């Protein structure tokens, strides 16, 4: 899948860049700027690939003009995304003490996941171990349940232990009409959650704030409010986006 693994050149030839860019325009009109940014980037890259493999001078010139037009159009989208991810007004800070309970994702930050949220941006560098992927699934379950209009989730991570796990998540979300995009950056170490409503949350330990349950059949296996937690801070901001 393109979101999990970069497509080969042969696969790219089968993708129509104009369809991708049309998605970018529609997403932009609907103010889904994370989704629009993704499709502009992908569509422009595909057009560049086409131009690089074309020898017809007139065709190259025409498509190069299209590329410049789309790059110019995408600038406002990139500006909106930058505003979304930038912290602005400080709203709330929560200190989680070592071994404390009652801090499931829903209890801790669920109040900000509402019907008006249609995009989520997540920075979580560590998804190598099974329990870390499970934490991601639990987070996404909460988001899907509380955000009925959710259409797009972008994950920025350092590296992943097993791509098949993310493909499973991607397929599960797609069944609900939600696009799940994964990007990797080996330098990525920050943790952040940004919602399209302008709420930005920074959790010191990211999604991985829970300790293991006491036993296989103890409280906390399913309901993470019963899990003991690691010491960390959770800060909530309102971004500069209007």
Structure confidence by residue, pLDDT tens digits, 2-33? 444 444 444 444 678 889 999 999 999 999 99
- Burial of residue 60 (CB within 10 Å: 0-12, 13-18, 19+) is middle
Bridge partners (DSSP) listed for residue 235:
93, 202
CATH numbers and ranges of domains, the chain: 17-84 (1.20.58.80), 89-239 (3.30.870.30)
Q: What is the pTM of this model?
A: 0.85
- Give me the pLDDT at residue 241, please: 58
In degrees, to the nearest 5, what angle opens at C-alpha 189 toward C-alphas 183 and 194? Answer: 65
Which residues in 26-141 belong to E strands, given as ranges? 87-96, 119-123, 126-127
In degrees, to the nearest 5, what angle opens at C-alpha 50 toward C-alphas 45 and 55? Answer: 145
Q: Which helix (H) or strand (E) holds 48?
A: helix 33-52
How far apart are the C-alpha atoms of 234 and 85, rounded to whole Å? 16
């Amino acid at each position: 899948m393109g979101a999990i693994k970069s497509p080969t050149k042969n696969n790219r030839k089968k993708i129509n860049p104009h369809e991708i860019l049309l998605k970018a325009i529609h997403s932009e009109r609907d103010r889904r700027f994370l989704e629009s940014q993704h499709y502009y980037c992908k569509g422009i890259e595909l057009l560049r690939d086409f131009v690089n493999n074309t020898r017809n001078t007139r065709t190259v010139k025409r498509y190069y003009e299209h590329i410049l037009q789309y790059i110019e159009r995408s600038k406002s989208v990139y500006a909106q995304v930058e505003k979304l991810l930038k912290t602005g007004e400080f709203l709330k800070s929560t200190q989680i003490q070592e071994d404390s309970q009652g801090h499931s994702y829903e209890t801790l930050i669920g109040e900000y996941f509402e019907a008006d949220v249609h995009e989520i941006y997540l920075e979580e560098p560590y998804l190598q171990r099974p329990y870390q992927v499970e934490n991601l699934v639990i987070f996404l379950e909460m988001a899907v349940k509380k955000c009925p209009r959710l259409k797009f989730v972008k994950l920025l991570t350092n590296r992943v232990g097993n791509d098949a796990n993310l493909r499973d998540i991607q397929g599960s979300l797609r069944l609900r009409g939600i696009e799940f995009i994964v990007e990797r950056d080996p330098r990525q170490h920050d943790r952040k959650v940004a919602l399209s409503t302008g709420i930005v949350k920074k959790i010191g330990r990211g999604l991985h704030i829970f300790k293991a349950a006491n036993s296989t059949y103890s409280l906390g296996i399913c309901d993470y409010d019963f899990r003991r937690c690691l010491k960390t801070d959770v800060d909530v901001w309102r971004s500069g986006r209007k």
